[in-house]
Structure 1
Amino acid sequence: MDKEYFLELEEKTIVYVHFKTEKGYVTEFVVKLLSAFEGEWHEILRYDSGHGCPHKDILNTDGKVTRKIWYDFLDNGQALTMAIKDIKDNFEFYKERYQKWLKEY
């Protein structure tokens, strides 16, 4: 079963959540922090289950992965829950850091 939704954290800042379940277990997921700067949407960071293991990708202003953090001690369901909580709790930090990077380039 596929599920997809958006959470609005504040004006122009949202979380995109997509996951698949099979027999009650999360088999795949993606959670993205997206924010609009000067009218353009940017993907700031992403959690996903690609490469066979849950991980977080920190993205630069070109959308390229600058750092990958692996969570091989979590299953996909645990990682999905953690990803949503982390972004809700820390989006202001992630957003400010990204805005700083935008000014540098």
Structure 2
Amino acid sequence: MTDYDVAPPPDRLADRVQLRTRFSTDSGTVSRFMIQLEYWLDGAWREVVRYDHDRDAAGGHDITTEGLHLDVYRDGDKHRLEQITGPIPANEGFTAAEADLHENAERYIRRFESWHGINNGANL
């Protein structure tokens, strides 16, 4: 896993839901980030959806040339990638990703719960 300069504790959104944010900056510009919605399932935090930007990592993504995308997880694996924007500055992508996960957390969680057969799940 990439080491980030800033890694605050996860932001708990509900009993079984949290938002994990990690990022690094270079002269005030976001150089890499990972923002991930997670669900507590079977004794571990599982990825629900993730935004990321790290042009220097093996297999990393550079949103300034590739555009912002959302990784969607199902059964512990990346299920699909949803393209969100065209090329975008990293600071704007970071802000957009964070806003999307706050605004659409309930929708993402409901889909995750449906896929995993979870009834009476997280209360968002």
Classify the TM-score, shorter chain: 0.7 to 0.9
* Structure 2 unaligned residues grouped into runs of 5+: 54-59, 119-124
1:68 CA displacement: 3.3
The answer on 1:87 being equivalent to 2:101 is yes
Matches of residues 1-105 of structure 1 in structure 2 within 5 Å? 2-5=5-8, 6-49=10-53, 50-53=60-63, 54-103=68-117
TM-score (norm: length of structure 2): 0.74
Between Structure 1 and Structure 2, which shows a larger proportion of helix residues?
1
* Structure 1 unaligned residues grouped into runs of 5+: none
Percent of residue pairs identical: 26
Of 22-31 and 37-46, the range deviating more from structure 2: 37-46
Instruction: Assess if the C-alpha contact under 8 Å between 1:59 and 1:67 holds in 2.
Output: no
Q: Which amino acid aligns with 1:80?
A: F
> 1:36 and 1:22 mapped to 2: Cα distance?
33
> Equivalent residue of 2:61, what SS?
helix
Q: CA RMSD in A?
A: 2.0
Q: Which amino acid aligns with 2:111?
A: R
> 2:11 and 2:90 mapped to 1: Cα distance?
20
Residues 44-103 of structure 1: CA deviation (Å, up to 9, x unaligned): 000001322232111112322322325333211111111111111111110010111112
Between Structure 1 and Structure 2, which shows a larger proportion of strand residues?
1
> Equivalent residue of 2:76, what SS?
coil
> 2:25 and 2:95 mapped to 1: Cα distance?
14
TM-score (norm: length of structure 1): 0.86
State the aligned residue count: 104
1:19 CA displacement: 0.6
